[in-house]
Structure 1
């Protein structure tokens, strides 16, 4: 059984809210990429495969770099890399707004991917350090900012990009500047934590003594968690990249109207993310992970066959239930591998980005060969694989902070 050490430090909410706000700003800027998809498809005459490759370029850059950044931060904390990472995002935003050709768009999103690769593992470590005994809550507060930022993408399409076009992205440079300022403050707090004198090192117990599990059990649990991230983010990718096209092509709604449906899904995802962490602290990590992913299946399977109204309702339900899992998966993995917070954060955030980008590219290729409706039906069954969560080790709910 997975056990947890009792934390005696208090939760540092100002720092948690600060990194959550930066996460909101970071993912708002990233969401401009997917928000531009309908605009770029028409203005540059792009195929679905080319649309998918834009997401692939950004997400795979972040995916490959994040475990490296996390591993290096485990070796030696690098607080002031936090504002530097947002500088890459700022460069990407400006380049995306001004990009005249498809190749320049790819370069712009790669720069944004580098910014995210630096931001996520180090900021997740800050959430871990400031959590006290409420790791599920802390990770949820951190991640809900990102979910809210992602949910703003469809609104930007409906309100801003449909009217202004690609150049409207330039306004988000102000969000990048604000994020740089906040990250400088967070880096100062992080630096002070790293500089605090430490007690003499005690002999470290073996992994099995820390978690109550053997190395083989830990390895198997990590494999299951990775696979659950795979199923979750392929489905999320199918909705975030192609649901608006599904509504436009199959229901005949306008681009602006379709974006409001996508916003509802992403807003529900943000609410689910916020609720998942505290529920896991109370009822256990495995129980909520299992409920979250497998519980999405009834909604996802019915969604492609519903009328327009019920499609929206089912999409909201699927987004809320499914998104309650990811913050818990990260905390679960961090507790399985204590002392490797940066590596675990980088690995799982990297997987999320990589799977999302790869999923967008592969699904775009399949959509060109078949149809968007086929994509919706194909991905609907992925949440059924959440049943694998039953093989995760049992855990206890977190003890209260003393």
Structure 2
């Protein structure tokens, strides 16, 4: 396999898994119309998947630091797909909660191990990690289309068809794992890791939390706000499309920029510039919201994959834990705070509720100004084998 092949396969596999993250929320309208779920019951389905996934990811990261488990990639992909595929089989609310929770568990098991394998396959390259992140972003964005196709095919009773992407994703993992297992045994082990920089990792995590609150808040309320500001019924769909499309551009752009400048500088400037575009999105009326949505999305996604590799380099002895926290636990905070934005919007207005979000990218950018750029092993060392301290 050429060097580009493992990242390509991992990226597509990442997209297959993250499609199921987006599918749970996309299934809510079908659950409401076909099963007469109330909003509280429907949101409970989303919570069952996201809360378990977010809380379990750091645990899988810790387990991965003790012993590498590459077999988790195909198994967790199938688990994520199986849970969503079974969500329409039974009319029982309890069964529906249980199977989407299983899907969330599969998502949780996948991300820390996939981040570790992708980092090794990328040989430390930031651009390659950007492509890996891009696959997940595209998978999430395709989830509403997959559910729309399901609705057209016959509704929830056709949900087993949603298992197909999981089968594809699991199959794509196999050649990557086979290539890792058959690498030459005579190559030298990579050098020992630097000492963990826990203080920097904590500040990085706080910056990721700021990003999470902004992105979740926009994802929840931006469609309503755009419709309100422009008076166009199609504005909501358009801005959400731009929010996802900008994420695809930003993920790749982040890796390109980090190859020229260091990651800390790229992330810091990206967040500070994002504060300006977010201010335009919230405060400038009319069609300008489309431009500001695209710029804000790109700015929020430029640091996305860079934050994962920074976390792994701040905790070189615990890369799985770092990946689990930066991809899981910190991301869940945005979902926990989204209801607070809604409460404030009910009492005031959507514009008033979204305005405080402008300060969070500024805070994230300032937090990055306090971070050092960690020293990393040369790419050749990462490609030669595993990180020390992790039993293959």
Q: Offset at 1:75?
A: 1.8
TM-score by length of 2: 0.84
TM-score by length of 1: 0.82
Query: 1:287 Cα deviation (Å)?
Result: 0.7
* SS of equivalent residue, structure 1 residue 77: coil
Is the contact made by 2:274 and 2:361 (CA closer than 8 Å) also made in structure 1? yes
**Residue 263 in 1 paired to residue 255 in 2?**
no
Equivalent of 2:311, from 333, 354, 358?
333
Determine if the alignment matches structure 1 residue 350 to structure 2 residue 328: yes
Pick from 38, 48, 55 the counterpart of residue 46 of structure 1. 38
Shift of 1:237: 0.8
- Within the alignment, does 1:235 sit opposite 2:225 as a pair? no
Distance 1:399 1:196, change over 3 A: closer
Superposed CA offset, 1:343-393 (max 9, x none)? 211221122442243244554555566655544334343212122211111
Count of matched residue positions in the alignment of Structure 1 and Structure 2: 379
Matching of residue 78 in structure 1 with residue 69 in structure 2: yes
2:289 pairs with 1:311: yes
Comparing both chains, which one has the higher relative contact order based on Cα–Cα distances under 8 Å and sequence gaps of 6 or more? Answer: 1
Partner residue of 1:298 out of 276, 284, 292: 276
* Structure-1 residue corresponding to 2:178: 188
Cα separation, 2, equivalents of 1:129 and 1:205: 14
Aligned equivalent of 1:60: 51
User: Mean alpha-carbon deviation: is it higher for 81-90 or for 379-388?
Assistant: 379-388
Q: Which residue of 2 aligns with 1:4?
A: none
Q: Counterparts of 1:311 and 1:302 in 2: how far apart (Å)?
A: 7
Report whether the alignment pairs 1:109 with 2:100: yes
Give the 5 Å matches for 1:3-402: 12-40=3-31, 44=36, 46-47=38-39, 52-98=43-89, 100=91, 103-134=94-125, 136-156=126-146, 161=151, 165-166=155-156, 169-192=159-182, 196=185, 204=192, 207=195, 218-248=197-227, 253-254=232-233, 258-364=236-342, 372-386=350-364, 387-394=366-373
Q: Which 5+ residue runs of structure 2 have no aligned equivalent?
A: 382-392
Whether the 8 Å contact between 1:281 and 1:398 is mirrored in structure 2 is no
Q: 1:211: which partner in 2?
A: none
2:384 alignment counterpart: none
| 2: CA distance, partners of 1:385 / 1:110 | 33
Q: Distance in 1 between matches of 2:280 and 2:190?
A: 55
Partner Cα separation in structure 2 for residue 109 and residue 369 of structure 1: 33
1-side partners of 2:104 and 2:168: how far apart?
Answer: 19
CA shift, 1:189, in A, is 2.7
Deviation at 1:165, TM superposition (A): 5.0
Superposed CA RMSD: 3.3
* Deviation digits for residues 247-285 of structure 1 (CA, Å, limit 9, x no counterpart): 45665554x763332121111111101110221122001
- Match of 1:381, SS state, is helix
Distance 2:340 2:86 in 1: 26
Change (3 A) 1:54 1:231: farther
**Residue deviations 1:310-345, cap 9 Å, x none?**
222211110011101021111112222223222211
Q: Deviations over 1:129-154 (max 9, x none)?
A: 112241x1222111110011122235
Q: Is the 8 A contact 2:275 2:358 kept in 1?
A: yes
Structure 1: gaps of 5 or more residues: 1-9, 208-214
